């Protein structure tokens, strides 16, 4: 079933894309572009179609995830979006890897916020052996004492490091593609897009669930956004965080404009159609890009980060919980 872009112009056509996604069929590039280039008047019927796919796989449940910035501001990478990079002049906290007690306290806070997944994130190209040992030690105790899913995000891994994380009980490993292959050199030069892909493939080899997503708003074209969604489908990423650039003063991308809220909703619908069964998470930058339209994002996405991000503040946990309740949705407690 192929749809011509010139007929994908009214609300009558979006359910056909939803059915195609539910049938396991791959959207064409033309169909993907039609989603992103739809009139803003089409956003409500577009989200309704995306919701049919989301509801099929996840009902009205919402998974919550919480990040702890386990190592901050000491990164040798030159990622243009990041306030912790070596080229950033943003005033951020700088500290080495947090001790075990602090990581355990973060896990308890994740439980208090009703998060099912606790994400241990450390800035850097990859972990040292000492850092890896600290993370492994903390993960083992968390797994023994709390019903949490553990996600680690520590950069590029060696084979033995991936094996040790899996043996310690890490469920999921995050390594975002961030942008398209063609756009990658304009964002980062200290590692390559292919290295990112290789890391995601490696964690799959060692039995961890792959988590990989994107950052929207870094100069990519609509065609590249569709390409990014296809790339994550082909990688079989189980969890896909969709970040919207929060342009931080002092970073190379500080003057990048925000993604309009209606465009952000179209992006989320696109990823739901292309990666229908996957955990689509509204991630960093949702507060400053989606603004008052944040609740609408959950008609396509089924997951949120709650609390603060790495160096930027999120909205209060009470507001997030209230938003989910007001939608008539339900937090998936301890979502393993």
* 75 in a known ligand binding site: yes
- How many CB atoms sit inside 10 A of residue 111's CB? 18
**Alpha helices, H only, the chain:** 14-22, 29-36, 43-58, 100-112, 129-145, 159-168, 193-205, 222-235, 261-274, 286-289, 294-297, 317-326
With CA atoms as reference, report the closest residue to 301 among 319, 276, 322. Answer: 276
* 275 in a known ligand binding site: no
Q: ∠ CA(99), CA(76), CA(173), 5° rounding?
A: 55
Asked if 153 is an active-site residue, the reply is: no
* 151 in a known ligand binding site: yes
Active-site position among 113, 164, 211, 275: 211
Active-site position among 54, 79, 113, 164: 79
Active-site position among 54, 151, 275, 286: 151
Asked if 275 is an active-site residue, the reply is: no
Active-site position among 54, 172, 196, 281: 281
- How many CB atoms sit inside 10 A of residue 28's CB? 16
**What does 207-228 look like in DSSP terms, one character per residue?**
TPEEE--EEE-SS--HHHHHHH
Partners of residue 61 on adjacent β-strands: 330
Spell out the residues 6+ positions from residue 52 whose beta carbon is closer than 8 angstroms to its own.
15, 18, 22
Active-site position among 54, 113, 119, 275: 119
Find where tokens 């950069």 sit: 155
- Residues with catalytic annotation? 75, 79, 82, 119, 151, 211, 281
Query: Which amino acids are annotated as binding site for [2Fe-2S] cluster, given as ranges?
Result: 119, 151, 211, 281
Query: Which amino acids are annotated as binding site for [4Fe-4S] cluster, given as ranges?
Result: 75, 79, 82
């Amino acid at each position: 079933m192929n749809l011509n872009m010139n007929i994908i112009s009214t609300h009558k056509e979006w359910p056909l894309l939803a059915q195609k996604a539910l049938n396991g069929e791959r959207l064409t590039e033309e169909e993907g572009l039609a989603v992103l280039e739809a009139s803003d008047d089409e956003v409500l019927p577009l989200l309704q179609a995306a919701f049919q796919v989301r509801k099929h796989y996840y009902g009205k449940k919402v998974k919550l995830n919480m990040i702890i910035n386990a190592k901050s501001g000491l990164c040798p990478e030159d990622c243009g979006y990041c306030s912790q990079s070596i080229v950033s002049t943003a005033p951020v906290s700088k500290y080495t890897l947090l001790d075990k007690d602090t990581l355990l306290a973060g896990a308890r806070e994740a439980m208090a916020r009703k998060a099912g997944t606790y994400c241990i994130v450390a800035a850097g190209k990859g972990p040292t052996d000492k850092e890896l040992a600290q993370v492994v030690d903390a993960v083992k105790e968390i797994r023994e004492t709390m019903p949490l899913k553990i996600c680690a995000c520590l950069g590029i891994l060696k084979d033995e490091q991936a094996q040790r994380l899996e043996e310690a009980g890490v469920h999921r490993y995050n390594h975002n593609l961030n942008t398209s292959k063609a756009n990658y050199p304009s964002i980062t030069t200290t590692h390559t897009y292919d290295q990112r892909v290789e890391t995601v493939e490696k964690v799959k080899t060692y039995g961890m669930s792959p988590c990989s997503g994107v950052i929207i708003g870094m100069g990519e074209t609509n065609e590249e956004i569709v390409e990014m969604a296809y790339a994550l489908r082909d990688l079989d990423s189980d969890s896909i965080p969709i970040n919207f650039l929060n342009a931080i003063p002092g970073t190379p991308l500080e003057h990048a404009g925000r993604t309009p809220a209606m465009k952000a909703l179209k992006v989320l619908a696109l990823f739901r159609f292309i990666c229908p069964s996957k955990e689509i998470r509204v991630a960093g930058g949702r507060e400053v890009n989606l603004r008052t339209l944040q609740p609408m994002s959950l008609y396509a996405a089924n997951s949120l980060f709650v609390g603060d991000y790495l160096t930027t503040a999120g909205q209060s946990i009470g507001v997030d919980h209230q938003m989910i309740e007001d939608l008539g949705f339900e937090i998936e407690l301890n979502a393993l």
